[in-house]
Amino acid sequence: MRLVERLSTEGPLSITALTRGTRVTRQAVTKHLAVMAGARLVRSRKAGRERLWELWPDQIDEARRALDAISREWDGALARLRALVER
């Protein structure tokens, strides 16, 4: 299961919990989370000795809207290209 799916269905999780039952290393998950945190898609908080990671829902929604807009632009561009090629 993907990181985002696990965080959305299971709530805040530690890196240890996120890697449990997978063949993905903690180092790889840490790198992915760092990139996602840089994009403000996830955030972490300290809970005792570990750090729990959770989705940042507002940012996920904003990213989805932006990607949908980009998708519509590409669909339009491809439709125009197709029309040009078929002429």
1 pLDDT above the threshold of 90: no
Residue spans of the domains in the chain: they are 1-55, 57-87
Top-tier CATH class for 1-55: mainly alpha
The pair phi, psi for residue 30, each rounded to 5°, is -60, -45
pLDDT class of 73 with cuts at 50, 70, 90: very high
Residue pLDDT, tens place only, 7-45 = 888 889 999 999 988 888 999 999 999 999 998 889 999
Q: How far is CA 15 from CA 54, 70, 76, 77, 78, in A?
A: 11, 32, 41, 41, 41
